[in-house]
Structure formats: C-alpha cells, structure tokens
Structure 1
Amino acid sequence: MKKYTLLLITLITIAFSACKNVATISESEASDVIVTYLKGNPEYKTDKFEFGEITFNSRKEMGELEKYKTLANEGFITLTLQESKKKFLSKDSSFVYFVKLTDKASDLVFKQDNDKATVKVVNYELASEKPVNFSRVNDNNAKVTVSLKKVNTVFAPFQNNSKDNSDFITKTYRLKLDKEEGWKVNK
C-alpha cells in the first residue's frame, strides 16, 4: 500500500509541475519586446529623391525648388546654380541647379543610382499613448497589435503620396517564448 501511495504522490507532483510551466506576458512586457524589436528592425517608408543636374522652369517646379532650398539650408544637400535664364516678356524663368547629397543625408539614404536615391521619408515609432492589444494563441505564442505613429524625416516633402489618411499605422507582431531569451518577435 505504501508503494501505491508513493507512486500516486509522485504522479501528482509531476502533473502539477507540468502545469506550472505555462508562460505569462503582460501588456508592459509585450510593449518592451516590441520596442526592443523596433530598435533593431525599424519600420519606415521610402521614396525616390532626384539629384544631379535639375532644371526648374514653371511655377510648379519653383515650388519644388523651395523644397530643395530647405534641404540645402539644413545641410542635407548642396545646391549649386549652374545656369539661369530670364525668358523675355514672361513671368517664367529657367534655372539649372546641380544637387549633391552631403554626408549628413547618409543615414537616410538606402540606395543611390546616377540621378535618383531611395531615401527614408517616414519613420514609425511605437505610440506610447495607445495601449498594446494582445491575445494568447497558446502557451508559448502571442499575437500583439500595436499602433505606430508617423514621424516625418526631412525628405518627407518629396514623397509621391504625401497626403496620407492618418498619422499612424497599426501593425500586428507574433511573439514566441524562447526558453533562454524570453519573449521575442517571431519573424
């Protein structure tokens, strides 16, 4: 009888220890995991930026020239006037500028061709005022939905679709529990 009692106690102990292995995650822990992930893998939006020799003719293009002048004043590009022509009896003039990217812009430039560069126009950061919504899929997995606020870079005026419908995006990440490292984003 003692043998069966000892066996029963052992089985109950094993069953309770197996149930105890369920992982938990709170809203603040999920937020911290997402912030850590975004530091290494930032969310952003890119667009094309023209540089090199650019001609500005019409009034619409003069508005574009003002954007370039703003970037030049902030030190992200150099803007050198190559040629200017005043059209006779016309309000329009023609200006030819040479636009060159500076070292200050290197953090925002991803790829360069001869006359175009792919630049970062918007960064997305975790919105602290919006809560993190998450649901447990199972013991070791969770699905987290967060709100990322839009932060414009200096190249934002050059994006093609600059009239976005919102100042934030919602993004869903899958978290997985790693026994050594804890919760992390599953790619």
Structure 2
Amino acid sequence: MVPFYYRYTPLLFIAFLWGACGHEKSISDRIALGEIAHYIEANPVYETAEMDYGELKFSQRSDSDLLVAYERLEKGGYVTLERLKERKRFLSKDSTFVYLVKLTDKSIPFVLEKTDKKATVKTFEYTLDEEGGVLVEQTGKSRVKATVTLRKAETDFADFAKKDPDNNASFTKKTYSLRFNGDAGWEVIK
C-alpha cells in the first residue's frame, strides 16, 4: 500500500507553485506598461492651441513672429499662404500684409477641431517612455495605480502654443488607474 503523502505529493506541489507564483490578479511592471501603452495608442496624450486661418492681417513689426510661424508651416506643406494686399504706412517703417491662409491635407493629423476661422491643433505629443519604468501601487484587491513617464515631442505647430515659463521639462509623469477584469485581465480604466 502506498503511503498517503505519496499519493497527494503531486497535488501538494502544484498547490505550492500556484500559491508561490501568485494568482491571476497579480500584476507585473511589464503587464502594466503593456496595458498603458495600448491605452495611449487608442487615447493619445497631447497639448493643443488655437490657430487662425482664412484672411489674416499681419503687421510687419508686431506680428513678425506669427508670420514666421505661418511661413514655417508653409515650408512644411501644412498651409498655403497667398498675399492678397500689402500696405506701407506713410512715414513709418511698419507695413501691413493681408494673407489668405489655407490648411492643406498634410495638416489633417494635427487638426482636432475646425471652425470657419480657427483650428485647434496639436502642438506637443507625448509618448510612453518604457525605459523610464513604472511605479505600480496596489490600491485594492483588483485595482492598481501605475505612474509612468511620458516624453514630450514638438509638432510643427508648436509655435502656436502659449509660452509657459513654468513648463521647462521635456517629460511629464502621469498616473493611470488599472482594474482587473475576470474576462479581459488587466485594463486601464482612466
């Protein structure tokens, strides 16, 4: 007759492994980063600004930076500039220009909203820095908070962003909430 503990040794070993490895609700840094990367792909993180288009008037002196920004966009193929009028002010070094600014098809990925005279454009886009790691904090049995680093990248429309003297970083930290779903596994709920 086989002793009792020999018959159940394989079952005890499997139970020990299951307990030692944790259960399916445990989350690793790799899983958290993967879920956040998938979420960011579907829900991109970016900064925006408003940009005028249509018939625009520029003063040579006070609007020179803005005119340069539009000229850069024209060189990149995002807008077309057509000079309609030029007026030199009498006894002044300042001139006034009227341009017709049109958005091209190349600008479509950067334009989020558009009215008759204004467009909301992406100025900065953020991407997940997977090498920066993730800080995972368990907040419940099936919930965690994961903090990651997002790298900031300029778009060609960055000249239209409002200058913020307090924003001197090339990255940001963002916290995402994840929840364990019995059918789908871990997913971002924020």
TM-score normalised according to structure 1 size: 0.84
Instruction: State the distance in 2 between where 1:154 and 1:175 align.
Output: 33
Q: Which residue of 2 aligns with 1:171?
A: 174
1:10-89 mapped onto 2 (5 Å cutoff): 21=23, 23-89=25-91
Q: Deviations over 1:51-93 (max 9, x none)?
A: 1111111423012101100001111001000001223332211
SS at the partner of 1:66?
helix
Equivalent residues, number: 175
SS at the partner of 2:32?
helix
Instruction: State the distance in 1 between where 2:41 and 2:90 align.
Output: 56
Preserved contact between residue 156 and residue 162 of structure 1 (Cα < 8 Å): no
**Percent identity over the alignment?**
37
Q: Which residue of 2 aligns with 1:120?
A: 122
Structure 1: which amino acid aligns with 2:108?
Answer: S
Structure 2: which amino acid aligns with 1:134?
Answer: V
Instruction: State the distance in 2 between where 1:38 and 1:65 align.
Output: 34
Unaligned residue ranges in structure 1 (runs of 5+): 1-8
Structure 1 residue 186: Cα displacement: 1.4
SS at the partner of 1:129?
helix
Instruction: State the distance in 2 between where 1:58 and 1:73 align.
Output: 19
Instruction: State the distance in 1 between where 2:68 and 2:154 align.
Output: 18
Instruction: State the distance in 1 between where 2:71 and 2:24 align.
Output: 59
The RMSD of aligned alpha carbons is 2.3
Q: Deviations over 1:116-158 (max 9, x none)?
A: 1111111111123322111112332111011111111111110
SS at the partner of 2:26?
coil
TM-score normalised according to structure 2 size: 0.83
Unaligned residue ranges in structure 2 (runs of 5+): 1-7
Structure 1 residue 162: Cα displacement: 5.0
1:174-185 mapped onto 2 (5 Å cutoff): 174-185=177-188
